[in-house]
């Protein structure tokens, strides 16, 4: 079934940038190739004087992979987009230029700000609501602000331009399949809900460890670090999905309300030297490849003390979760990739005397990308029926046939803000982390070190 988009024109600002070439255009191509977005006009814009051919070459090379796998209808649609796409040169921060371009495009238009964050903010600040064609959608990349106050300020600027449900704050790690997989597991199984609380759960860990190092992204990453790059924008969202109350429907309002309620109850408490940790990688080996010291990487300013590994303990102060630590950790250049949420249940109150072997607490593991489920249980045997042994029940969860940015764009083009981070939530995620950022800026928490390719600093759990 083909899907006509609600949006008529996708305007990508930052057409020459890395995000556009590497992620946005391939994500769009897969979406179109699967017949899930038809009738769209694509316009690229940037401050460089690109020729139409330069832009077309970029679009066609980004479309090539999806085109080779598309059916006849998908190929036709990709061809139509290539034949009609255009490039416009403009300075988005100059008064009137962006507004004038918007006036020439077929409405409704989705404006994708694939720009450095400060440029996106300046571009929005020079726009007025009256200049925007009816139905305009604004798509903002991360990082969304740099503190609760700056996020609020940016929200006010955007809120003066379009209604909240026309603003898409992107968290491309939070795919639709992942969100629905968590909700399906939690709310379609009666046996889980009675134990999903402080009485039966000891702790919840949400871990996003990568074996990738900086990979030439110092310009963005050195100003962000692990805490802002992953925990602020992404892991708190996953935490909220694991912790929230059951929504009545999967509509954006019900779901985003439930996420917001969970986050409003969340905080990281002092002392921050106990409830947060940070570290930076030194030279090491990853997959047989030598990795230089982070501080010596091209484009890194050592004096910024940017962390490449961050961990925080979040408390959710409500009836369900009082006293249960939510440990959020993300890092780069680690010995292995590990992307999962681990729910550890409390030990049994009494193990009948006579059993031997180890009785370990049950653990439920939700893996992300590919999405999987693993449940660790103790069973008898094999061999001696009195001896307890660990068995893992596993299941593969639903996967998306879109690329992460295809999912983002599908929401934007179809006018569905379900996956977008809502204004209050964007501010709240900064409110949760602001005290930790301040403590780190005061050097109240030591910046530890770990060799690239290891499991992290000594003393941190693997
Ligand atoms: P780049 O620096 O690669 O690209 C930025 C783009 O902005 C360039 O095309 C540049 O065009 C354009 N630009 C800058 N100033 C102006 C201006 N005044 N008017 C018009 N265009 C302008 O950045 P990225 O693509 O890496 O990142 C873009 C955004 O996406 C950032 O917010 C980033 O945080 C976010 N992001 C990036 C990811 C990535 O993997 N790259 C992943 C997740 C988020 P020109 O060269 O012509 O000036």
Which residues are catalytic, by number? 234
User: How far does residue 214's CA lie from ligand 1's centre (Å)?
Assistant: 18
Q: Which residues contact 143 (CB under 8 A, 6 or more apart)?
A: 117, 224, 228, 229, 232, 233
Q: Which of 397, 398, 414 is nearest to 406 (CA)?
A: 414
pTM: 0.95
Per-residue pLDDT at 277 = 98
Position in ligand 1 atom list of the atom nearest CA 47: 47
Cβ pair 224, 354 in contact under 8 A = no
The CB of 46 under 6 Å from ligand 1? The reply is: yes
User: How far does residue 414's CA lie from ligand 1's centre (Å)?
Assistant: 24
The CB of 431 under 6 Å from ligand 1? The reply is: no
User: How far does residue 225's CA lie from ligand 1's centre (Å)?
Assistant: 18
Per-residue pLDDT at 3 = 77
What are the boundaries of each domain within the chain?
A: 9-169, 176-400+422-451
Per-residue pLDDT at 330 = 97
Per-residue pLDDT at 140 = 97
Domain 176-400+422-451 class, CATH top level:
alpha beta
Position in ligand 1 atom list of the atom nearest CA 120: 32
Q: Listing from the earlier edge strand, what are the strands of the sheet with 41-46?
A: 86-89, 41-46, 9-13, 109-113, 137-140, 167-169
130: which DSSP letter? G
The CB of 92 under 6 Å from ligand 1? The reply is: yes
Position in ligand 1 atom list of the atom nearest CA 14: 9
The CB of 155 under 6 Å from ligand 1? The reply is: no
Q: Which residues contact 109 (CB under 8 A, 6 or more apart)?
A: 7, 8, 9, 10, 11, 102, 133, 135, 136, 137
Mutation probe of ligand 1 site: the residue of 11, 13, 18 with most atoms within 8 A of C-beta:
18
Please state, in angstroms and rounded to a whole number, the distance separating the CA atoms of residues 447 and 449: 7
Strand, coil or helix: 241: helix
Please state, in angstroms and rounded to a whole number, the distance separating the CA atoms of residues 167 and 106: 19
Low-confidence spans in the chain with pLDDT less than 70: 1-2, 462
Cβ pair 316, 266 in contact under 8 A = yes
Per-residue pLDDT at 74 = 96
User: How far does residue 275's CA lie from ligand 1's centre (Å)?
Assistant: 34
Cβ pair 235, 268 in contact under 8 A = no
Q: Which of 421, 440, 372 is nearest to 234 (CA)?
A: 421
The CB of 48 under 6 Å from ligand 1? The reply is: yes
- Answer yes or no: CATH 3.40.50.720 is held by domain 9-169: yes
Predicted confidence (pLDDT) per residue in 77-92, tens digit: 999 999 999 999 999 9
User: How far does residue 337's CA lie from ligand 1's centre (Å)?
Assistant: 27
Distance of CA 156 to the CA centre of its chain: 23
The CB of 142 under 6 Å from ligand 1? The reply is: yes
The helix-helix angle for 236-243 and 423-441 (nearest 10°) equals: 120
Predicted confidence (pLDDT) per residue in 407-437, tens digit: 999 999 999 999 999 999 999 999 999 999 9
Per-residue pLDDT at 1 = 56
């Amino acid at each position: 079934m083909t899907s006509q988009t609600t949006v008529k024109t996708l305007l990508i600002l930052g057409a020459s940038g890395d995000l556009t070439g590497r992620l946005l255009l391939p994500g769009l191509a897969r979406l179109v190739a699967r017949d899930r977005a038809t009738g769209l006009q694509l316009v690229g814009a940037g401050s460089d004087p690109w020729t139409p051919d330069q832009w077309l070459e970029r679009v066609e090379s980004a479309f090539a992979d999806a085109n080779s796998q598309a059916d006849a209808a998908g190929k036709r649609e990709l061809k139509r987009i290539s034949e009609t796409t255009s490039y416009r040169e403009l300075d988005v921060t100059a008064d009137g230029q962006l507004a004038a371009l918007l006036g020439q495009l077929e409405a409704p238009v989705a404006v994708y700000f694939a720009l450095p964050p400060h440029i996106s903010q300046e571009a929005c600040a020079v726009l007025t609501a009256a200049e925007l064609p009816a139905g305009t959608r604004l798509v903002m990349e991360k990082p969304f602000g740099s503190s609760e106050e700056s996020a609020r300020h940016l929200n006010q600027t955007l809120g003066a331009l379009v209604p909240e449900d026309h603003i898409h704050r992107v968290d491309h790690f939070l795919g639709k399949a992942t969100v629905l997989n968590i909700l399906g597991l939690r709310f379609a199984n009666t046996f889980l809900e009675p134990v999903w609380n402080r009485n039966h759960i000891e702790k919840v860990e949400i871990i996003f460890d990568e074996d990738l190092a900086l990979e030439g992204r110092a310009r963005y990453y050195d100003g962000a670090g692990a805490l802002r790059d992953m925990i602020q924008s992404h892991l708190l969202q996953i935490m909220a999905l694991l912790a929230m109350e059951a929504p009545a429907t999967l509509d954006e309002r019900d779901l985003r309300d439930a996420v917001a309620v969970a986050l409003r109850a969340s905080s990281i408490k002092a002392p921050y030297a106990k409830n947060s940790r940070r570290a930076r990688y030194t030279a090491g080996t990853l997959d047989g490849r030598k990795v230089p010291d982070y501080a010596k990487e091209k484009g890194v300013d050592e004096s910024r003390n940017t962390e490449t590994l961050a961990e925080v303990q979040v408390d959710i102060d409500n009836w369900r979760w009082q006293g249960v630590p939510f440990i959020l950790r993300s890092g780069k250049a680690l010995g292995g990739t590990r992307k999962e949420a681990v729910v550890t249940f409390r030990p049994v109150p009494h193990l009948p005397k006579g059993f031997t072997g180890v009785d370990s607490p049950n653990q439920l593991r939700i893996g992300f990308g590919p999405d999987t489920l693993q449940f660790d249980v103790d069973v008898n045997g094999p061999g001696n029926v009195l001896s307890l042994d660990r068995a893992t029940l596993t299941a593969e969860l639903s996967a998306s046939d879109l690329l992460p940015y295809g999912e983002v764009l599908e929401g934007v083009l179809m006018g569905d803000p379900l996956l977008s981070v809502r204004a209050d939530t964007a501010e709240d995620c900064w409110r949760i982390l602001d005290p930790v950022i301040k403590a780190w800026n005061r050097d109240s928490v030591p910046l530890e070190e770990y060799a690239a390719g290891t499991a992290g600093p000594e003393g941190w759990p693997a």
